[in-house]
């Protein structure tokens, strides 16, 4: 029975009831040691779930890859064959059930989600001491927890602290005084009782344990509790204390493994004292503070002896990683043999995608190395894996240490490459550029230079232009400065490379394709590369590709398609550095739709993702979005000021010139845009882009009032939104010239497109202009059925209409099949259909 936990029990019970109805959810129980988190998990384990899976993080296991997932998923690994191929292979390799493979960390999270959702009946996952989970397990479980929708899966974390953005957190606090008094044992002297209630501060473990100690304690409560447990341990026989120390040092809980190092009878007094529980082949400490009291209360020599005994007991290749770590813990000074064993463990972790564990093992191997050269080499390996693990701050720290030990120029170039990419991931583009370019890697530094602008960008392009033997480098320079070769030719030449490397290289090509005005080709390449990433499980590259895909879809006037790409990209970008760009495009789409709150919120998200002293990566896009919002809401002066501030070399600066022209004319200051028209003309001439030629004509028409320019702009084959914007401007000009009949014709064309696209500010303007010509106000057209769907529902409905199964769709979108089915179930009534087969006949 739990005392004083009504609120927490209600939250857990609600999750169980929702799971019984097919919903999913996750919760973090957050609180200090002894506050009752574990007791709540024990209570939750009795709730009506078909499957209860359990795992507990352990401080000394935090560097062993997949340790947490192995505990949690072991009972359901027989369902691996139900997973899509890349997901199945990733988990099989991780758990030694198949060949090792370097799996993208987001792919592992998707595989965990699929495996949990493949169970029959509701599933409850209980993860205690989650703050000690190894990094790959923590990443995967957080990924899955954020995507629980219709799986009937509940994940409950108990942790002192946990980075769990997107997961609900419930703070577990001390018991109220009446409940604390109920828990405190009866028969105590009133003065002692009062002292204990004051000392315990409502902490349940303290209320149960402090009465066993005779004297008051000073210091923080966790330390006092640990002292209390240490006192209980100190009263045990020496052999039992040694056995307990071995169990604390080998915190896998494997009883058979511990008994290779100690005798079973030596553990019995600890079991009788209720410090440990021996059951089901496991050793389980009563509380993590008991383990901490045993381990940290022992002398250094005793801990070294325990780790040596465990290393000797861990024979066989299956225990190589644990053996290496125990040998490292037993080392009292540099030891090249142990360092080599740890490096081997790190290599194997990296091969399985356990980059966080590899980082820790390489770093510890460096500490045990006897020469500065080996220390530096292993520290750099640690930094490289930290970068791949999504820990850029750790990568910087490790790379700096490596660079301080080996001053050879070629080594420092590698250090700069790692450290520079780590700073790029944190948004510090100046540091990124300086470090990456240090060793001459100017092509790799070009992305950072792009955000810095002139003069850095020009200097970098000059350096890249000298790389005559690199066709990709030549394309990037030509895209930035002149008329490049067809993008497809460059992409085709790179396709013979290793798939993962080719995708990473070509991501940058997509961005520069837009710089060169090759919109359709850049968007097509981004979509093709995104398809390869889905098929090959390279989820970590998808946010960048989805940003570039959304960019092309937006420029083509396919706003719903762009919204789908942005929504999916942001769902994955929590784990990456592309939040700023994707949020900024989301802000732009909201501005076009006239959703001012959503625009401002998304723009704020985009601008917040900036490092001190550096612009946010999505700064230009966010300013364009806010300017369009200003324009749509009748603030042309503010819109013009925002657009004039955009860096001239960026894509948005050229693309937004027509908006600047409109804002300047409406603000009564057309002269402010005139100096920019030659830039747009040069771009149109250099690239031959149809949109640029039409935009130039529209700008000239707005500034000069020349009808010929309006007519010229409308002759080009334009995306619908651009055509409607031009028609609206022309219709407004005709109406002001009292040519009402001509105005009505073009305004009707504009209104039909704006209504179809859901561009409400422009629909309102077109409708107002039509009313001003003497026509009665026309009602807004009913939105098409597909517009009622969320971006994810529409994306899933489209894939289902193409004939893909729920399992295939789930694999593409890194969801579970049950979530796919749930979204289809929600989409059918919005679309007015009742079956999957009806989707193919719809216009989606």
Q: Would you state the structure tokens that stand for residue 533, as one six-digit string?
A: 């990433």
Q: With pLDDT > 70 as the criterion, what percentage of the chain qualifies?
A: 96
Return the pLDDT at 497. 44
pLDDT of 777 over the 70 cut: no
pLDDT range class, residue 662, cuts 50, 70, 90: very high
Using alpha carbons, select from 594, 624, 593, 592 the residue that is nearest to residue 606.
Answer: 624
pLDDT at 231: 80
| Position with higher pLDDT, 366 vs 231 | 366
Tell me the average pLDDT across 220-233: 77
Q: Which ranges of 389-498 would DSSP assign to H, the alpha helix?
A: 392-405, 409-425, 429-438, 442-452, 456-465, 471-481, 487-494
Answer yes or no: is pLDDT of 494 > 70.
Answer: no
> Between 497 and 551, where is the model more confident?
551
Q: Tell me the torsion sign for CA atoms 31, 36, 39, 43.
A: negative
User: Averaged over 442-457, what is the pLDDT?
Assistant: 90
For the chain, give the longest Cα–Cα distance.
Answer: 104
The answer on pLDDT for 255 being more than 90 is no
pLDDT interval class at 83 (50, 70, 90): confident
* Confidence (pLDDT) at 260: 84
Using pLDDT thresholds of 50, 70 and 90, give the confidence band for residue 217.
low
Average of per-residue pLDDT across 192-209: 81
3-state secondary structure at position 825: helix
Q: What is the pLDDT of residues 666-683, one digit of tens each?
A: 999 988 998 999 999 999
Average pLDDT score over residue span 73-84: 89
Alpha helices in 656-803 (DSSP H): 657-666, 677-687, 690-704, 707-715, 720-736, 740-757, 760-772, 791-801
- Binned at pLDDT 50, 70 and 90, residue 499 comes out as low
Instruction: Spell out a b/e string for 412-423, using b for 16 or more CB atoms within 10 Å of the CB, else e.
Output: bbbbbbbbbbbb
Which candidate, 446, 510, 516, places its Cα nearest to that of 485? 516
Asked whether the predicted pLDDT for residue 270 surpasses 50, the reply is: yes
3-class SS of residue 51: strand
pLDDT classification of 780: cutoffs 50, 70, 90: low
Highest-pLDDT range among 448-452, 496-500, 586-590, 616-620? 586-590
515 pLDDT exceeds 60?
Answer: yes
Mean pLDDT of 637-650: 92
Average pLDDT estimate for 513-531: 90
Is residue 45 very low, low, confident or very high in pLDDT (cuts 50, 70, 90)? Answer: very high
* pLDDT given for residue 195 in this prediction: 76
* Residue 214, pLDDT score: 54
| pLDDT above 90 for 537 | no
- The pLDDT confidence band at residue 707, using thresholds 50, 70 and 90, is very high
Place 840 in a pLDDT band, splitting at 50, 70 and 90.
confident
Least confident of 17-31, 243-257, 380-394: 243-257
The overall average pLDDT reported for the chain is 87
Query: What residues pair up with 123 in beta bridges, in sequence order?
Result: 51, 153
Assigned token pair, 625: 């979005």
pLDDT above 50 (res 496):
no
Whether 446 shows a pLDDT value over 60: the answer reads: yes
pLDDT (average), residues 652-661: 93
């Amino acid at each position: 029975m739990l005392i004083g936990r009504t609120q927490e029990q209600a939250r857990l019970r609600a999750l169980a009831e929702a799971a019984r109805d097919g919903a999913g959810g996750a919760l973090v129980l957050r609180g200090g040691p002894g506050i009752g988190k574990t007791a709540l998990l024990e209570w939750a384990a009795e709730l009506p779930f078909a499957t209860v899976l359990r795992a507990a993080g352990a401080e000394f296991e935090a560097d062993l890859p997949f340790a947490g997932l192995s505990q949690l998923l072991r009972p359901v690994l027989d369902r691996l064959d139900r997973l899509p191929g890349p997901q199945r292979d990733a988990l099989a390799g991780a758990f030694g059930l198949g060949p090792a493979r370097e799996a993208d960390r987001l792919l592992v999270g998707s595989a965990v989600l699929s495996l949990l959702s493949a169970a029959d009946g509701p599933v409850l996952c209980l993860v205690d001491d989650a703050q000690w989970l190894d990094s790959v397990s923590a990443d995967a479980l957080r990924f899955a927890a954020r995507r629980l929708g219709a799986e009937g899966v509940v994940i409950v974390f108990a942790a002192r602290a946990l980075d769990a953005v997107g997961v609900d957190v419930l703070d577990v606090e001390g018991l109220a005084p009446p409940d604390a008094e109920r828990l405190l044992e009866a028969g105590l002297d009133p003065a002692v009782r009062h002292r204990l209630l004051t000392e315990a501060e409502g902490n349940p473990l303290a209320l149960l344990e402090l009465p066993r100690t005779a004297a008051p304690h000073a210091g923080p409560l966790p330390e006092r509790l640990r002292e209390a447990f240490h006192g209980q341990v100190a009263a045990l026989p020496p052999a039992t204390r040694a056995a307990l120390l071995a169990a604390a040092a080998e915190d896998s809980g494997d009883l058979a493994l511990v008994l290779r190092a100690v005798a079973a009878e030596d553990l019995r007094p600890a079991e009788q004292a209720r410090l440990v529980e021996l059951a089901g082949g496991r050793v389980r400490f009563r509380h993590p503070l008991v383990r901490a009291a045993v381990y940290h209360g022992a002398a250094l020599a005793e801990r070294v002896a325990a780790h040596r005994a465990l290393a000797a007991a861990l024979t066989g290749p299956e225990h190589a990683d644990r053996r290496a770590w125990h040998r490292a813990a037993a080392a009292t000074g540099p030891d090249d043999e142990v360092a080599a064993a740890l490096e081997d463990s790190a290599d194997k972790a990296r091969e399985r995608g356990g980059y966080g564990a590899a980082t820790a093992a390489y770093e510890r191997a460096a500490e045990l190395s006897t020469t500065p050269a080996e220390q530096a080499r292993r520290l750099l390996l640690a930094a490289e894996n930290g970068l791949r693990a999504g820990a850029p701050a750790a990568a910087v720290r490790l790379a700096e240490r490596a660079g301080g030990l080996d001053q050879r120029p070629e080594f420092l170039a590698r250090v700069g490459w790692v450290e520079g990419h780590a700073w790029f991931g944190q948004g510090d583009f100046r540091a990124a550029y300086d470090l990456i370019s240090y060793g001459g890697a100017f092509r790799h530094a070009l992305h950072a230079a792009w955000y810095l602008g002139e003069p850095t960008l020009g200097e970098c392009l000059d350096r890249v232009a000298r790389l005559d033997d690199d066709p990709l480098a030549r394309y990037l320079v030509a895209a930035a400065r002149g008329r490049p070769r067809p993008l497809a030719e460059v992409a085709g030449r790179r396709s013979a490379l290793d798939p993962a490397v080719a995708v990473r290289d070509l991501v940058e090509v997509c961005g520069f394709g837009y710089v060169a005005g090759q919109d359709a080709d850049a968007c097509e390449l981004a979509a093709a590369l995104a398809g390869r990433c889905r098929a090959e499980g390279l989820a970590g590259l998808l946010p960048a590709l989805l940003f570039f895909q959304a960019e092309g879809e937006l420029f083509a006037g396919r706003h719903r398609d762009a919204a789908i790409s942005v929504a999916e990209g942001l769902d994955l970008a929590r784990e990456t550095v592309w939040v700023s760009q994707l949020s900024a495009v989301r802000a732009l789409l909201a501005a076009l739709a006239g959703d001012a709150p959503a625009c401002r919120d998304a723009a704020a998200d985009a601008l917040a993702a900036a490092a001190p002293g550096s612009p946010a990566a999505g700064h230009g896009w966010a300013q364009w979005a806010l300017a369009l919002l200003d324009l749509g809401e009748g603030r042309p002066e503010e819109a013009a000021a925002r657009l004039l501030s955009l860096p001239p070399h960026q894509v948005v600066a050229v693309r937004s010139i027509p908006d600047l022209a409109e804002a300047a004319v409406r603000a009564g200051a057309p002269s402010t845009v005139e100096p920019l028209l030659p830039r747009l003309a040069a771009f149109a001439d250099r690239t031959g882009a149809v949109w640029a030629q039409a935009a130039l004509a529209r700008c000239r028409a707005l500034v000069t009032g020349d009808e010929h320019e309006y007519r010229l702009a409308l002759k080009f084959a334009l995306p619908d939104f651009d055509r409607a914007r031009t028609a609206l401007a022309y219709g407004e000009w005709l109406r002001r010239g009292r040519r009402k009949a001509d105005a009505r014709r073009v305004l009707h064309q504009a209104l039909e497109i704006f209504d179809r696209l859901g561009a409400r500010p422009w629909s309102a303007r077109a409708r107002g202009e039509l009313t001003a010509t003497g026509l009665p106000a026309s009602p807004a057209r009913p939105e098409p059925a597909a517009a009622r769907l969320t971006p994810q529902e529409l994306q899933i409905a489209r894939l289902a209409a193409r004939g893909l199964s729920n399992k295939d769709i789930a694999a593409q979108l890194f969801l579970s099949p049950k979530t796919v089915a749930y979204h289809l179930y929600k989409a059918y009534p919005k679309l007015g259909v009742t079956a999957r087969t009806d989707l193919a006949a719809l216009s989606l």
